[in-house]
Amino acid sequence: MAASAPAHVAGPDSRAGSGAMIWTALVVVYIVWGSTYLAIRVVVEAHIPPMLGMAGRFLTAGILLATGLALKSGWRRLRITRREAVGAATVGVLLLAFGNGAVAVAEQTVPSGLAALLVAAIPLWLMLLRVGGGERPRAMTWSGVLIGFGGAALLALSGGNTSAKPLSVAILVLGTICWATGSRFAPRLGLPRDPLVTALYEMLFGGTAMILLGVLRGEPGRLHLDQVDQSGWFGLAYLVVFGSLLAYTAYSYLLANAPISLIGTYAYVNPAVAVLLGWLILNESLTWQILLGGAVIIVGVALVVTSERRRA
């Protein structure tokens, strides 16, 4: 979720980052995370079990990032408190194991473009969680939520016109709820102040949880390395280097330095990138229901983000 996906919420004590760094990180999240839906689809179609494949992705990226930080700044930089470890583990499990893992499992049958469009509803789930916490959104925000979920419903119904199975769509929706939940409560969990350290521990904890989930799903028995073609290894390498090391660390930087209203805009840029790449590279079909449902979701999310920015 990109993952890719896709946002934990920057808290009131977040440090202000430079405008150039924020926009650079945002462009990386816009483009790279949009492309990860395509890469995940390539990986699962290459006979790599989804949970174990994504576990390898995040564990490899986490180890590489930890090594790089240690070589640059010393191992002391990687030290965290018990509370920070618990917070990073919680966010890593919700966002990566349950959130991104659900995307990978679902994309065994769900086209990458359709998956990205359904994930675009995350800001709408975030809004409902805020309402559950006692906040009172503006009328424009509620309009955006209702419009966005209407688009999500249209997309779910359109799954019958593609290879998507209803169970896969349900798993994907559950994954978006887990991502939104982790995003909502992350600022209260006492995460490490260094966003790169936060990212690496979330990847390590999340990847470890994915191995356990993969074992429960019986994936080790379906993993045959000799049957994985070159495209699968290339897709996995792309997810490690670009999807995790580059984009996820950029996202962690944004969470610590940028307003959530700005970060949330990735949710309606990623789907456009994913749909275009899926159509160009994987020849995924684009039905009028998918295009209409995606457009409705993007309009709804845009209304929510615009309304919240005005309120802020």
Residues 175-217 pLDDT 10s = 999 988 888 888 788 888 888 899 899 999 999 999 999 999 9
Look at residue 159 in the predicted model and tell me its pLDDT. 53
Look at residue 84 in the predicted model and tell me its pLDDT. 94
Query: What is the total count of domains within the chain?
Result: 1
Sign of CA dihedral 298, 163, 219, 230: negative
Look at residue 7 in the predicted model and tell me its pLDDT. 38
- Report whether 156 contacts 93 (CB < 8 A): no
Look at residue 71 in the predicted model and tell me its pLDDT. 94
Quote the distance between the C-alpha of residue 290 and its chain's center.
20
Look at residue 96 in the predicted model and tell me its pLDDT. 93
Residue 6 lies inside a defined structural domain of this protein = no
Residue 10 lies inside a defined structural domain of this protein = no
Considering the chain, what percentage of its residues have pLDDT values greater than 90? Answer: 35
Residue 3 lies inside a defined structural domain of this protein = no
Both structure tokens of 9: 């919420």
- Report whether 274 contacts 35 (CB < 8 A): yes
Burial class (CB in 10 A: 0-12, 13-18, 19+), 194: middle
Residue 2 lies inside a defined structural domain of this protein = no
Distance CA 306, CA 243 (A): 27
Look at residue 42 in the predicted model and tell me its pLDDT. 92
Higher pLDDT pick, 258 / 65: 65
Look at residue 189 in the predicted model and tell me its pLDDT. 86
pLDDT (average), residues 131-151: 77
Look at residue 86 in the predicted model and tell me its pLDDT. 94
Look at residue 261 in the predicted model and tell me its pLDDT. 61
Whole-structure pTM over 0.85, yes or no?
A: no
Q: Per-residue pLDDT for 151 more than 50? A: yes
Which amino acid is residue 203, in one-letter code?
A: M
- Domain carrying residue 269: 19-311
Residue 279 lies inside a defined structural domain of this protein = yes
Distances (CA, A) of 52 to 100, 130, 286: 12, 33, 30
Residue 13 lies inside a defined structural domain of this protein = no
Distance CA 294, CA 40 (A): 20
Residue 190 lies inside a defined structural domain of this protein = yes
The residue to which tokens 């996202």 are assigned = 251
Q: Identify how many contiguous H helices and E strands the chain contains and give both numbers.
A: 14, 0
